[in-house]
Structure 1
């Protein structure tokens, strides 16, 4: 009997190993199937929001009632921002995606500006209506291209859940498919529309810089502890690395965060840089939708959070609040000079004060200690370059980026002309006026044109 004992034991062990392997294989497949379903749903919702945005914009243009115009423009704004949020959650890394994201932001921003004029009873001018027509045409084109892309991806058998696997052939296939669409040139076709200042009036100059981030390279197994140190509310959650970032300025890991009670499609996601292990971005879709804390308290919560995760000397600049949440833009301050290139955005839930969003790529790509020279001209000399028609409200030194990847030191004057407020940037070395921006303060935030 003994001579059969070892073979039987080995056979049982092999069966156990085989069974465990099959179990792990099925678990992995189930997870990627789950991801595929979620990404498919987000893609459909993205298309739906784009279509709803362009429909509501057309209704606003066709309506003769000021009350209805306000309603339709408000719906356009909400769908534009929701589409932008869905887009950022999809595993697309094609260059044209950036253009789409910018367009959706511009669509929401311009609609917000027109909404506020309508609320004041101002009749929209022909030039403004023409701009809305152009935005509407772009939205129709984008919607058609997204539907076509979705159909082609589906017919090609590409699994969205597999796209985060490093070196996945489906990802390369999808990137090649996207080259057949006008999405790749979408950014080139965009016109100069207003943008929200909370996203940085100089952010367009920061897209393609070579990241300055330095530090020890972190391993995949270190990522969960990085997340839990930053977000204590996730210390008992399941945190897993689902892939690595591709075609992005900062190399890093994609992260999924969920627990047994997380509703499907509502897991938090993040990206952590390989160098130094910094959180590039974080999104938690679960929000209360209520407003129990005010703007001042929300900014305080955001400041404390940034200090906790190692972002010191950050100064809040502008904010945008909507649907029970607030996005706060921070810029680095060095020697009392505001550095607009080093941007961090924090989203706070106004219901419970929790941080539900972080975007730090601008800071991580651009931050370093500058050798700031003393201004060549005095504040009074710079003030003399202002128009005699304006009334000064405040002034501060600010470093702003200019084309070519350079930065210049300026005096940032906030001035009033009539009922309007402007930001005027005077070069601290030459006295030349470098930039002038119109600020539109509103209940939800600040627009800059």
Structure 2
């Protein structure tokens, strides 16, 4: 055997050994990865089971708690356990909708608990209806916990999904909970206040209203599929479909208009956009609106307006206007918040601004104050005093004090940049 063949043979053997080692290492790595996944799934299942068990116990205790301290403590525990349960659910490898009702249950427990905590802190008592809701939640927690005990955690993800489907079946008839929270089912059942009692208009009339709003003749619009649901609208398109506009069937209000064209430059400033949007609203007979916040993204300035009357700002009655910064064209108008919430209200504060200001932290310096109606997480409303303050590190802080109870309702930090004014 000559030297060249020996070298070739050695190289081939080395290659085979290397490939074999690589394959073995890959197999070991894959095995290790699979084991890590299974461990993570097991841990998530254990965490979820523990959280649901704690939720069941806390709900049971809450039925008997009779002092503010104990009730608030249990509400805080329920919020904490709900949050951890949601984190555990997010880890599980289930991509279908079999966990939707379970997730809904966990979310509502946390939100219902937050609502109770706010109510207790305001010195109010838990109602009989809320105690009944606690009892219902406790029973579903018990059902869920029983189902989780039957789920085998040492199985692969497709089997895990099948096992969870069996558990989720027990939540098919999960009840609708009515309470003041952002995940309450009644939010989707709300009816628009502005259109209440208004007569239905014909499609042709709606098309004329839309055309006038856009400043075109009605023959430039094409009628498309209407929208049903809580806010029924006639829908139209223009300019080869790039513009879409919706008119409420009751009352004939423009609920939205959107122009989807691209914006290629930023020639205008926020101040220019502000003037353009104000002129647009005025030209369409929309008055008594006050600019609140704005944001600039991709050459578009979106400005929020809230209804403002007799020195009171009504934040639920919201209109959004987007302005293209290349030429000042209005690209978006959305008045859904205004249509859903605007109605005649009787506003009366029970405490003075000075009394309300006493509830503002001494670490804040009040610069401006006034009455503001704000939405609660459950989309009801509360009258507050709005205090614009400066903080210790020059933060701009908004504090909302209940105009009846003097309790803090909300604290927001204003963030100002070249791209707008937002809150967190």
Range of TM-score over shorter length = 0.5 to 0.7
Does the CA-based 8 Å contact 1:211-1:364 persist in structure 2?
Answer: yes
Question: Deviation of residue 405 (structure 1)?
Answer: 4.9
SS of the counterpart of 1:369?
A: coil
**Could you say which residue in structure 2 is the equivalent of 1:309?**
284
Q: Kindly indicate whether residue 204 of structure 2 is the aligned counterpart of residue 221 of structure 1.
A: yes
Does the CA-based 8 Å contact 2:384-2:400 persist in structure 1?
Answer: yes
Q: Kindly indicate whether residue 329 of structure 2 is the aligned counterpart of residue 354 of structure 1.
A: yes
Give the alignment of 1:329-368 within 5 angstroms: 329-368=304-343
Does the CA-based 8 Å contact 2:269-2:325 persist in structure 1?
Answer: yes
Does the CA-based 8 Å contact 1:244-1:254 persist in structure 2?
Answer: yes
Does the CA-based 8 Å contact 2:207-2:218 persist in structure 1?
Answer: no
Does the CA-based 8 Å contact 1:289-1:325 persist in structure 2?
Answer: no
Aligned length: 263
SS of the counterpart of 2:221?
A: strand
Question: Deviation of residue 352 (structure 1)?
Answer: 1.2
Cα deviation 1:382-424 (Å, max 9, x = unaligned): 2221111112232121011225553221111122222222211
**Could you say which residue in structure 2 is the equivalent of 1:238?**
220
Q: Kindly indicate whether residue 187 of structure 2 is the aligned counterpart of residue 212 of structure 1.
A: no
Name stretches of at least 5 consecutive residues in structure 1 with no aligned partner: 1-130, 146-179, 193-201, 260-265
Q: Kindly indicate whether residue 401 of structure 2 is the aligned counterpart of residue 436 of structure 1.
A: no
**Could you say which residue in structure 2 is the equivalent of 1:120?**
none
Does the CA-based 8 Å contact 2:208-2:218 persist in structure 1?
Answer: no
Q: Kindly indicate whether residue 366 of structure 2 is the aligned counterpart of residue 392 of structure 1.
A: yes
Question: Deviation of residue 220 (structure 1)?
Answer: 1.2
Q: Kindly indicate whether residue 381 of structure 2 is the aligned counterpart of residue 407 of structure 1.
A: yes
Does the CA-based 8 Å contact 2:222-2:237 persist in structure 1?
Answer: yes
Cα deviation 1:129-152 (Å, max 9, x = unaligned): xx9xx99x979999x77xxxxxxx
**Could you say which residue in structure 1 is the equivalent of 2:239?**
258
Give the alignment of 1:272-291 within 5 angstroms: 272-291=247-266
Give the alignment of 1:91-106 within 5 angstroms: none
Q: Kindly indicate whether residue 424 of structure 2 is the aligned counterpart of residue 424 of structure 1.
A: no
Task: Give the distance between the partners of 1:188 and 1:231, measured in 2 at CA.
Answer: 45
Question: Deviation of residue 343 (structure 1)?
Answer: 0.7
Give RMSD over aligned pairs.
Answer: 3.3
Task: Give the distance between the partners of 2:400 and 2:188, measured in 1 at CA.
Answer: 21
Question: Deviation of residue 285 (structure 1)?
Answer: 0.7
TM-score normalized by the length of structure 2: 0.55
SS of the counterpart of 1:227?
A: helix
Question: Deviation of residue 310 (structure 1)?
Answer: 3.3
Task: Give the distance between the partners of 1:139 and 1:230, measured in 2 at CA.
Answer: 49
Cα deviation 1:70-129 (Å, max 9, x = unaligned): xxxxxxxxxxxxxxxxxxxxxxxxxxxxxxxxxxxxxxxxxxxxxxxxxxxxxxxxxxxx
Question: Deviation of residue 376 (structure 1)?
Answer: 2.2
Does the CA-based 8 Å contact 1:252-1:271 persist in structure 2?
Answer: yes
Does the CA-based 8 Å contact 2:182-2:378 persist in structure 1?
Answer: no
Question: Deviation of residue 258 (structure 1)?
Answer: 2.2
Question: Deviation of residue 239 (structure 1)?
Answer: 0.9
Does the CA-based 8 Å contact 2:182-2:379 persist in structure 1?
Answer: no
Cα deviation 1:304-333 (Å, max 9, x = unaligned): 222333321011100011111111111001
TM-score normalized by the length of structure 1: 0.52
> Moved runs in structure 1, 4+ residues, more than 4 A?
137-142, 180-192, 202-208
Greater relative CO, 1 or 2 (CA 8 Å, sep 6+): 1
SS of the counterpart of 1:364?
A: helix
